[in-house]
Structure formats: structure tokens, C-alpha cells
């Protein structure tokens, strides 16, 4: 093959305080986030983004007024390009963010200019949700078709138990557990909370495989740690809005650990880089909550970022997808919506 384009999808984040409101508007105006008819959704997105902006601006103020998500994703793109050397005569890795720049239209234009013989779409979300990967994939397909980008396109829908992802995350957890063991003293052994971004319950009830895949990821990392008595559980963070979200909530579990006098090791299991949800919510907000709740030791494990074993895993997924060659389309499998290239989603009862 002559030219291979890989497109990394992620959520995006504001690059200045002025970008916070339009970023939030783009998020709440996504039909995958608010499923109302277009004019109603547009009006709701205006209202909610205006109301949320001051809170969100304060969150991003802790990070110097901008999200570090894009720089981390650029590092990952460069590392993946390196790991894919030789997979085609020319390999280029692009980034398409869903709610802030570089956004889908800009990246479609850049990929078209590159003139690939094949495109592989690779969400930087290990677990598939129609609100994240599904939204990015759907928008890419619509905009690529509109722009006349017709290269054969294959999608890696998800990789919740990919050995590269699991090993990279497990190595980081093992380091944290070892360091904590050295300073634990008379405190009881720690509990590990695998914390994932939550979702409204109705999204899961509609057949979204996300929660099931998060559980698969956490179980795979726990198994890779190979510590028989490890106390671990899956929790969900980042609830916004009035709907009921899936639980247990990470903050409630932190309070519970405080009551039990348990040290905590918190592991982000649905993110592969650092941003407001890890650096502010987990480190600052939940760090303070742990302190006031009486948690004796609180450690937050890093995301995998550009860990070589993770990037090599991604490169393997891309090589397999490029080899599959066939155009994949969203399909309904086993009552669960998944593009169906992972071979893991359909078998859920």
C-alpha cells in the first residue's frame, strides 16, 4: 500500500478561556449528547453552555485556562507514526477532535490533501460509546462523504482489553501500589478504584456497550496485576445535568473509603491522556474530598499517554484494520450498537 492515513479521535478541549463557552455549545449541540430535534437541541445547547461556562472556566483555570488534551494527543500521534513505520510507503497520523480544534472538517480537508489509499479511524477511547467514538465516527463519515474523500476506510471501534492498553495501565498501577506499600505503615491495604467517565443510565439502557467494556478493561488490568487479594471496584465520575447517571459514583466511594480508613489508589480507566477530568476532578476535587473524608492515603495513577507498550498496541490495531481492508459500516450486533470490528462487543447477553 502506498499511502495510509490514520485518524485519531478524541473529545477536544478549550485552548483559551474564551473558547470554553463555544466548546461547551458544540458538546451540548451534539445529537449523541442531547437527542432532541435540531432547533430544540440548539436552543438547549445555548442555555446549558451559557450556564455551565463559569463552572467550566474555573475548572480550566487550574490548568492555565486551557486543556492539555491536544498536546498529549499530538505526542501520541507522533509516537504512533513512528510505531507504524513500514506499514505503508507513507503513513501519516491525523487528529480530529469532536468539540474543539482541530475539528472534523479541518481534518477531512487535510486527509484529502494527503491523498491516502486507505484510511483507518482510531478513537482514543478504549471503550465504545455512541456518545464518544460513535459520535466522532458518524460525523467523520458524513463529512468525508460530503467532501468527496472516498478512500477505503476501516474503523477500530474499541479495544477495551487490548494487551498493549492493559499492560501499560497495569504497569502504572503496579508502580503506585508498590510505592504506597512502602509508606503505608499501620494503615490497611489499599482499595483500587477504576474510575471511568459516567453516562446517563438511559444511554446504557439503549444498548450502549460502554459500561460493559469499562468493566472488561478494569477486570483485565486487575488480572494483569496478579495480586490475589487486591481489593478493587469500578466507579463513575464527571456527572453533569439532571438525568440519572450510572454508578457507583467515584465521590461516594471515596467517602466510603474514608469511613473505613482505607487508603485509595484511583485509576482512570476510560481515558488515555490527561485533561480536566484527571488533573482537576480526580487530582484536585477528589483529592480534597479524600482528605476531608478521612482517607489516610490517596494516590491517582497516570493515564497511559505515549507509553511504548500502549502505542505498540495501537499500531497493531491499525495494522490489523488496514489489513482487513473492507469498508465497515455501523451495524447492530446482539442488540448492542458497535461498528463491529473489535470482535468483543456482540457477545454480551
Q: Annotated binding site for Fe(2+), which residues?
A: 197, 277
Whether the link from the prior residue into 102 is cis, omega within 30° of 0, is yes
For residue 234, the cross-strand partners are 194
Three-class SS of residue 75? helix
Of positions 270, 307, 311, 345, contacts ligand L6N33NVT by CB under 6 A: 270
Three-class SS of residue 335? coil
Q: How far is residue 76's CA from residue 60's CA, in Å, rounded to a whole number?
A: 22
8 near ligand L6N33NVT, rule: CB under 6 A: no
Q: Residue 29: CB partners within 8 Å, gap ≥ 6?
A: 41, 42, 45
Find the helix packing angle between 308-324 and 163-183, rounded to 10°: 170
Of positions 33, 157, 295, 317, contacts Fe ion by CB under 5 A: 157
Q: How far is residue 203's CA from residue 244's CA, in Å, rounded to a whole number?
A: 10
Pick 166 or 177: Cβ nearer ligand L6N33NVT: 166
C-alpha cell at position 327: 469498508
Of positions 84, 173, 277, 290, contacts ligand L6N33NVT by CB under 6 A: 277
- Is 213:127 a contact under the CB 8 Å cutoff? yes
Region of 127-135, 156-164, 178-186, 327-335 interacting with ligand L6N33NVT (CB under 6 A) = 127-135
Which residues inside 236-265 make contact with ligand L6N33NVT, applying CB under 6 A? 240-241
Pick 118 or 213: Cβ nearer ligand L6N33NVT: 213
- The binder of 180, among Fe ion, ligand L6N33NVT, none, by C-beta within 5 to 8 A per type, is none
Of positions 8, 69, 220, 222, contacts ligand L6N33NVT by CB under 6 A: 69
- The binder of 275, among Fe ion, ligand L6N33NVT, none, by C-beta within 5 to 8 A per type, is ligand L6N33NVT
- The binder of 270, among Fe ion, ligand L6N33NVT, none, by C-beta within 5 to 8 A per type, is ligand L6N33NVT
The strand pair at 336-338 and 331-333 is best described as antiparallel
- Is 308:273 a contact under the CB 8 Å cutoff? no
Pick 67 or 153: Cβ nearer ligand L6N33NVT: 67
Q: How far is residue 144's CA from residue 96's CA, in Å, rounded to a whole number?
A: 12
Binding site for ligand L6N33NVT (CB under 6 A): 11, 13, 24, 27, 33, 52, 56, 59, 67, 69, 125, 129, 131-132, 197, 199-200, 240-241, 270-271, 275-277
Binding site for Fe ion (CB under 5 A): 157-158, 338, 342, 345
Amino acid at each position: 500500500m502506498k499511502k495510509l492515513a490514520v485518524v485519531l479521535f478524541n473529545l477536544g478541549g478549550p485552548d483559551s478561556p474564551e473558547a470554553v463557552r463555544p466548546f461547551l455549545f458544540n458538546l451540548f449541540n451534539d445529537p449523541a449528547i442531547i437527542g432532541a430535534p435540531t432547533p430544540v437541541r440548539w436552543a438547549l445547547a445555548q442555555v446549558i453552555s451559557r450556564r455551565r461556562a463559569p463552572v467550566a472556566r474555573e475548572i480550566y483555570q487550574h490548568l492555565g485556562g486551557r486543556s492539555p488534551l491536544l498536546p498529549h494527543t499530538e505526542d501520541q500521534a507522533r509516537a504512533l507514526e513512528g510505531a507504524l513505520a513500514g506499514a505503508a510507503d507513507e503513513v501519516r497520523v491525523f487528529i480530529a477532535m469532536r468539540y474543539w480544534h482541530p475539528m472534523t472538517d479541518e481534518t477531512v480537508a487535510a486527509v484529502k490533501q494527503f491523498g491516502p489509499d486507505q484510511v483507518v479511524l482510531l478513537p482514543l477511547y478504549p471503550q465504545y460509546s455512541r456518545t464518544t467514538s460513535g459520535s466522532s465516527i458518524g460525523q467523520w463519515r458524513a463529512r468525508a462523504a460530503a467532501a468527496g474523500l472516498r478512500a477505503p476506510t476501516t474503523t477500530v471501534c474499541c479495544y477495551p482489553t487490548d494487551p498493549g492498553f492493559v499492560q501499560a495501565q497495569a504497569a502504572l498501577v503496579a508502580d503506585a501500589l508498590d510505592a504506597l506499600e512502602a509508606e503505608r505503615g499501620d494503615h490497611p491495604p489499599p482499595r483500587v478504584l477504576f474510575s471511568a467517565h459516567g453516562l446517563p443510565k438511559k444511554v446504557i439502557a439503549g444498548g450502549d456497550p460502554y459500561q460493559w467494556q469499562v468493566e472488561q478493561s478494569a477486570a483485565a488490568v486487575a488480572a494483569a496485576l496478579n495480586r490475589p487479594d487486591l481489593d478493587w471496584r469500578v466507579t463513575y465520575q464527571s456527572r453533569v445535568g439532571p438525568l440519572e447517571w450510572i454508578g457507583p459514583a467515584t465521590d461516594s466511594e471515596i467517602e466510603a473509603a474514608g469511613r473505613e480508613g482505607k487508603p485509595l489508589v484511583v485509576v482512570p480507566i476510560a481515558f488515555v491522556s490527561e485533561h480536566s477530568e484527571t488533573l482537576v476532578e480526580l487530582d484536585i476535587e477528589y483529592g480534597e474530598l479524600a482528605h476531608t473524608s478521612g482517607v489516610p492515603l490517596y494516590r491517582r495513577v497516570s493515564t497511559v499517554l505515549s507509553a511504548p507498550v500502549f502505542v505498540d498496541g495501537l499500531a497493531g490495531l491499525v495494522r490489523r484494520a488496514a489489513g482487513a481492508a473492507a469498508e465497515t459500516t455501523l451495524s447492530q450486533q446482539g442488540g448492542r450498537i458497535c461498528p463491529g470490528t473489535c470482535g468483543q462487543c456482540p457477545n454480551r447477553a
